[in-house]
Structure 1
Amino acid sequence: MSSQIHVRIADWQKDKADLRRIRETVFIAEQAVPPELEWDAEDASAVHFLALDGDYAIGAARLLPDGHIGRVSVLKDWRGLKVGDALMNAVIAEAERCGLKQQMLSAQVHASPFYERLGFTIVSGEFLDAGIPHVDMVRHSSQEPV
């Protein structure tokens, strides 16, 4: 992974343009998710994360107060460079810092092996979300102090 790539907690108000650009590119343009499904009221209360290459935002994710992780997205040119791992490790670390012992997400089926590598387990059958096959996954933090 390039030493230029790093992840930081984002500010929904200040970083909204970057967060929206990444999610619009990945979900709305590439995956044809309807905009009204992509944007919801939960963005305002979520903790957002940005992956950056230098100072250019290339990936995004969010963590909801109940431990749900979502909107994990990396721009196409940066896929395969462990950006998703860096994003997810930052999200998991923040969830644990907040005392969220269980993290949950709905994964696109093709991405489930990626999340399994990070300690998530599939806990549902396949279902369609925005026309894309998904499964629900859960990760339990170890009870050991970090």
Structure 2
Amino acid sequence: MNDLHVRVADWQKDNADLRRIRETVFIAEQSVPPELEWDDEDAHAVHFLALDGDYAIGTARLLPDGHIGRVSVVKDYRGLKVGEALMTAVIAEAERRGLTRQMLSAQVHAAPFYERLGFSIVSDEFLDAGIPHVDMVRQSG
């Protein structure tokens, strides 16, 4: 992976890549029901794509209230700092928009990853789509 970069994506123009990644990670790998994966929030979110050259390998979205979600990286690229690059871009965009408080619901196994990025756990464990999660918050500036 010699050309990792993250850019803001266009929900319409980049829809095929965004859907391919989220369907692969959440629906196929993690058995999230499609009706829970796709929601009305996508139309209003700022979407991000991580790319290796021209090939989309990860995605995330930022909602207008500072919620970050749908952070996903295709299996072959995990452990290569793609998630970190995605989250760094999402946090920077949130801060640029004046969203100094970022929130997310993390799968429990991923909580240490988000803690390294400055997020703190603010809830007890709960199930979302049958997967254990915790709510996390990051306060900046």
TM bin, normalised by shorter chain, reads over 0.9
In 1, the alpha carbon distance for the partners of 2:15 and 2:130 equals 26
In 2, the alpha carbon distance for the partners of 1:116 and 1:55 equals 30
Which residue is equivalent to 2:49?
50
Which residue is equivalent to 2:40?
41
Letter in 2 for 1:79: R
Letter in 2 for 1:28: I
In 2, the alpha carbon distance for the partners of 1:38 and 1:11 equals 18
The answer to whether the aligner puts 1:65 opposite 2:64 as a matched pair is yes
Which residue is equivalent to 1:127?
126
Runs of 4+ in 1 over 3 A off after TM superposition: none
Which residue is equivalent to 1:25?
24
**Superposed displacement of residue 16, structure 1:** 0.4
In 1, the alpha carbon distance for the partners of 2:75 and 2:4 equals 15
Letter in 2 for 1:105: L
Letter in 2 for 1:21: R
Which residue is equivalent to 2:6?
7
How many residues are paired up? 141
Local SS of the residue matching 1:94: helix
In 2, the alpha carbon distance for the partners of 1:135 and 1:20 equals 25
In 2, the alpha carbon distance for the partners of 1:101 and 1:80 equals 28
In 2, the alpha carbon distance for the partners of 1:15 and 1:134 equals 28
Which residue is equivalent to 2:75?
76
**Superposed displacement of residue 39, structure 1:** 0.0
Among the aligned pairs, what percent are the same residue?
84
Letter in 1 for 2:56: A
Local SS of the residue matching 1:26: helix
TM-score where L is the length of structure 2 = 0.99
**Superposed displacement of residue 3, structure 1:** 3.7
Residues 43-74 of structure 1, C-alpha deviation per residue, up to 9 Å, x if partnerless?
00000000000000000000000000000000
Letter in 1 for 2:121: I
CA RMSD in angstroms comes to 0.5
In 1, the alpha carbon distance for the partners of 2:63 and 2:9 equals 13
Local SS of the residue matching 1:20: helix
Residues 86-127 of structure 1, C-alpha deviation per residue, up to 9 Å, x if partnerless?
000000000000000100000000000000000000000000
Which residue is equivalent to 1:92?
91
In 1, the alpha carbon distance for the partners of 2:138 and 2:86 equals 16
Local SS of the residue matching 1:51: strand
